[in-house]
Chain A
Amino acid sequence: EIVLTQSPGTLSLSPGERATLSCRASQSVNTYLAWYQQRPGQAPRLLMYDASKRATGIPARFSGSGSGTDFTLTISSLEPEDSAVYYCQQRINSWTFGQGTKVEIK
């Protein structure tokens, strides 16, 4: 099983600041990595897929990068509505999720 480890556990930033979230895989997943956003009380929403492609309707302030075992989700300028838990997911060998990073807006 491929294990995804996300860091940090929690990120507390102010509106307008840049958020950088990390996801590390226990073995290479090529670029078969997705990111999801889950706001409180809501279902997850697909943000990015294939490491760097934005899903439909996702604002340009979200970007993804990486390949192999190290990936990054960047939110260039935080908005209040970005307060959520963010999960990475690999799909090269079935599917597994990381444990999540909580982004808090001060």
Chain B
Amino acid sequence: EGQLLESGGNLVQPGGSLRLSCAASGITFSDYGMAWVRQAQGKGLEWVSAINATGTKTYYPAPVKGRFTISRDNSKNTLYLQMNSLRVEDTALYYCAKETGHMGPFDIWGQGTMVTVSS
């Protein structure tokens, strides 16, 4: 069964930047769309970005559009999330997740990487 391992979470000041990575194993990475989902402490799940299998289409919800950029390197089986202009409200555990198919639900999740935005 496939596995996803996130990294790159850290403490950063408001207005700062951070890049998260998600390394995939045990799956044919280039066959699937991927996504990032975050969860603030004690709160629910919030989808923050998605990318299709080839990397040619990306999707963002309003709260992060223009600040976050999702990308992927299929030769390295790795997903990325570049986060700029970070805000206190971006503080959360960030999960990467694999889609079951195009625009599908998420059937494999990583364990998450923590991003804390604070001065």
A99 at the interface (CB under 8 A from B): yes
Per-residue CB proximity of B77-117 to A under 8 Å, as 1/0? Answer: 00000000000000000010000100111110111100000
Stretch from B9-17, B39-47, B68-76 forming part of the interface with A: B39-47
B109–A95 touching, CB < 8 Å: no
Given contacts A43-B112, A94-B59, A94-B61, contact A55 B107 (CB under 8 A): yes
A46 at the interface (CB under 8 A from B): yes
Q: B residues within 8 A CB of A97? A: 44-47
A:41-77 near B, CB below 8 Å:
43-46, 49, 55-56
B107–A87 touching, CB < 8 Å: no
Per-residue CB proximity of B42-71 to A under 8 Å, as 1/0? Answer: 001111001000000001011000000000
Interface size bucket, B side? 20 to 34
Given contacts A43-B109, A43-B111, A45-B109, contact A91 B103 (CB under 8 A): yes
The CA-CA distance from A20 to B62 in the complex, in Å, is: 32
Q: B residues within 8 A CB of A30? A: none
Closest to B60 in A: A94
A81 at the interface (CB under 8 A from B): no
A91 partner, pick from B46, B104, B109, beta carbons under 8 A: B104
B107–A95 touching, CB < 8 Å: no
B34 at the interface (CB under 8 A from A): no
B100 partner, pick from A44, A45, A49, A95, beta carbons under 8 A: A49
- Given contact pairs A43-B110, A44-B37, A46-B107, enumerate 18 new A-B contacts (beta carbons under 8 Å): A34-B105, A36-B106, A43-B109, A43-B111, A44-B109, A45-B109, A46-B100, A49-B100, A49-B105, A49-B107, A85-B44, A87-B45, A89-B45, A94-B50, A94-B61, A95-B50, A97-B47, A100-B45
